[in-house]
Amino acid sequence: MTPELQGRVINRLVETGAANKSWALGILAALEGGAALDRYLDDTAKVPAAASLSQATTPSSVLPEPPGVYVSSITVEGFRGVGKGVTLSLPPGPGLILIVGRNGSGKSSFAEGLELLLTGRNLRWEKPRAKVWQEGWRNLHHAGQPSLKADLLVEGKGSLAASRVWASNDIGKSQASLITKGQPARPLDSVGWSDALITFRPFLSYNELGSLLEEGPSCWCDERVA
């Protein structure tokens, strides 16, 4: 668990008044890891009293809410159904954006391209049809280098440009970088979003969304492009 998520859990316990509940001690132990939770369940570890949680989350120790990150454009070239480079511009900011188009117009190519750009993987391709999707990830009518790019707007920090390029037909061998205006390019992983993208996966295919709706409400999920 990341320190950020750990801090958010503790803050929520305090804010809701749940820090005084007996089960809050178990949550504290779980935050420390499996070994600490085992010791607590075996009644061999001393966990701080619930009342002390409020003292541990003074303003100086409360982790700030991470800034929002919004997509302002997606550029796809030589990937899936897109050959020559095409840019899809979006209004950056909170809210819901609908991308509407006929079948084969490239909607999924942009959505899957953004997911692959930021996470380095595409869960739709990891299903039983993985071989079909992986073999057809490059646009057959484009002989140039495949690339994915996105312009991002970070609250309070300005714009960033993320890109991922391939020098071969192996989808697992790519280079992802991040560029901040006036600074040299650096690895995309250096921005520190890897854990957050796994913990709070922001991409769901329409098939996954349909399954969630059919099975009934169990969680709140976002569309793959927001």
The pLDDT tens digits of the residues spanning 94-152 come to: 877 888 888 888 888 998 899 999 988 887 777 665 677 677 889 988 989 999 999 99
In this prediction the pTM is 0.64
Lowest mean pLDDT among 27-31, 38-42, 78-82, 84-88: 38-42
Query: Which three-class secondary structure state does DSSP give residue 48?
Result: coil
Distances (CA, A) of 59 to 7, 56, 64: 12, 9, 9
Q: Backbone dihedral region of 54: left (phi > 0), alpha (psi from -120 to 50 degrees) or beta?
A: alpha
What is d(CA 112, CA 200) in angstroms, rounded to the nearest whole number?
17
List residues bridging with 147 in a β-sheet. 77, 165
List the chain domain ranges: 3-56, 69-215
CA distance linking residue 5 with residue 11, whole number of Å: 10
Fold adopted by 69-215: Rossmann fold (3.40.50)
More confident residue, 62 or 12: 12
